[in-house]
Amino acid sequence: MIYNRGNRADFDALVALGNPGWGWDDVLPIYRQMENHALGAGPTRGAGGLLDISTATDLPQLCDDTIEAGVAAGLKRTDDVNDSDEERIGPAARTITRGTRVSSARSFLRPVLGRPNLTVRTGATVTQVLVEGDRAVGVRVTDGGTMTDQRAALEVVLSLGSLATPRLLQLSGIGDAAHLRGIGIDARVDSPDVGQRMREHRTVTLQYRLRGSVQITSADPTAPLDIDPQFLTSASDRQRTAALFRRIRDLFGLEPVASKIRRETVPGPGVQSDDEIVDAALDLGYCGYHAVGTAAMGPDPGDVVDSRLRVRGLRGLRIVDCSVLPTMVAGNLNAPIMAMAWRAADLMREDA
């Protein structure tokens, strides 16, 4: 729903890490093509595309006051938060049209549901990638107690998300060979970074440097995952979290919003030191639902996928979801992964 595209620096960092074709100058034209922005087309915005985007035009007074307090704190007021990378404040851009939330399925899939070469199955669970020799040839699917194998003519594309994609890879024998053998799975591709390098936001949001991880605990696809996000374990993340928290607290100390607040209820004025703030973020915050990096792309033989999102060590297997992002994007991930999927479609056509 919140439509934040990430900054130029986030995408240019992907290129600097050895992933050509993912820089801001590659991604901005995709955003502009896919967008149908209520504010109209502009150098940084698209109109007429498949994805409806709007901003609230009837903000409650308290929101307006908060924006004004942000301006008093030195932020630039903007009607389109995706228009620049400056320190800015304004109403959120949202994938909402005529009061209804739009999804990627509604925007991109529904218009093509009638195509004869498209079959959509919902409620089915993929439990394994089928491999013959060094090639992925399909997937095993369970649906209401029935198991079927689906063969792929050209390639298999996994888009299960940052937790389920590494699970399926590991269940299929693609992962850290020692770990897989330890739980009774034949290792087909020794790729120790599968499920590693996870980054996630905490609700005082920041980027985490320490690596979290996602590991299967058994060969049973329904067994719980072992997820270790390593939230706020590095000194740098703890300091940044405290600094950001203080900045937000300071903003609410400015007019016109300050005089409308009687007292801070959560975490409360007793929370002052860096440690107290970080403890509050850990106790009272929650994950940002923005996990990335568990099948990260990069140029090194150890990176799970290459910059064309192809899984190393097997032919015919690609990943298109947030797990391929080696670093975190500033903001939310729905917009970036839609643009990345758009580009991935081009890569698939080029490689076919």
28-36, 65-73, 153-161, 200-208 -> range binding ligand FAD (CB under 6 A): 153-161
Considering the complex, state which of residue 164 and residue 204 has its C-beta at the smaller distance from ligand FAD.
164
> In the chain, count of helices (H) and strands (E)?
9, 16
Phi, psi angles (nearest 5°) of residue 106 = -65, -40
Q: Is residue 125 close enough to count as binding ligand FAD by CB under 6 A?
A: yes
Among 7, 128, 159, 230, binds ligand FAD (CB under 6 A): 159
Phi, psi angles (nearest 5°) of residue 42 = -165, 180
CA nearest to 129, candidates 316, 269, 266: 316
Integer Cα distance of 257 and 59 in angstroms:
14
Among 2, 147, 178, 258, binds ligand FAD (CB under 6 A): 2
Element (H, E) at 243: helix 235-251
159-167, 224-232, 239-247, 303-311 -> range binding ligand FAD (CB under 6 A): 159-167
Q: Is residue 1 close enough to count as binding ligand FAD by CB under 6 A?
A: yes
Q: Which two tokens stand for residue 68?
A: 């004004």
CA nearest to 95, candidates 104, 87, 86: 104
Q: Which two tokens stand for residue 261?
A: 């607040």
What lies within 8 Å, CB to CB, of 75 at 6+ separation is 87, 88, 89
Considering the complex, state which of residue 208 and residue 277 has its C-beta at the smaller distance from ligand FAD.
208
> Min. distance of Cβ 151 from ligand FAD in angstroms?
17
Q: How far is CA 167 from the centre of its chain?
A: 17
Would you call the peptide bond into 256 cis, given omega within 30 degrees of 0 as the criterion?
yes
Q: What is the largest CA-CA distance in the chain?
A: 69
> Min. distance of Cβ 81 from ligand FAD in angstroms?
12
> Min. distance of Cβ 84 from ligand FAD in angstroms?
19
Tokens 């990260």, located at residue: 296
> Min. distance of Cβ 231 from ligand FAD in angstroms?
17
Among 268, 289, 302, 315, binds ligand FAD (CB under 6 A): 289
Alpha carbon distances (Å) from 158 to 39, 59, 105: 34, 40, 16
Q: Is residue 23 close enough to count as binding ligand FAD by CB under 6 A?
A: no
Q: Is residue 109 close enough to count as binding ligand FAD by CB under 6 A?
A: no
Considering the complex, state which of residue 176 and residue 200 has its C-beta at the smaller distance from ligand FAD.
200
Considering the complex, state which of residue 53 and residue 137 has its C-beta at the smaller distance from ligand FAD.
53
Q: Is residue 96 close enough to count as binding ligand FAD by CB under 6 A?
A: no
Q: Is residue 129 close enough to count as binding ligand FAD by CB under 6 A?
A: no
Q: Is residue 164 close enough to count as binding ligand FAD by CB under 6 A?
A: yes
Considering the complex, state which of residue 2 and residue 9 has its C-beta at the smaller distance from ligand FAD.
2
Tokens 């959509």, located at residue: 120
Phi, psi angles (nearest 5°) of residue 169 = -60, -45
Q: Is residue 126 close enough to count as binding ligand FAD by CB under 6 A?
A: yes
Instruction: Say which DSSP state 330 is in.
Output: S
Integer Cα distance of 206 and 203 in angstroms:
8
Considering the complex, state which of residue 172 and residue 191 has its C-beta at the smaller distance from ligand FAD.
172
Sites for ligand FAD among residues 177-206 (CB under 6 A): none
The full length of the chain comes to 352
Sites for ligand FAD among residues 291-350 (CB under 6 A): 321-322, 332-335, 337
Integer Cα distance of 158 and 173 in angstroms:
15
Considering the complex, state which of residue 5 and residue 240 has its C-beta at the smaller distance from ligand FAD.
5
Considering the complex, state which of residue 157 and residue 160 has its C-beta at the smaller distance from ligand FAD.
160
> Min. distance of Cβ 122 from ligand FAD in angstroms?
9
Q: Applying CB under 6 A, which residues contact ligand FAD?
A: 1-2, 125-126, 159-162, 164, 168, 289-290, 321-322, 332-335, 337
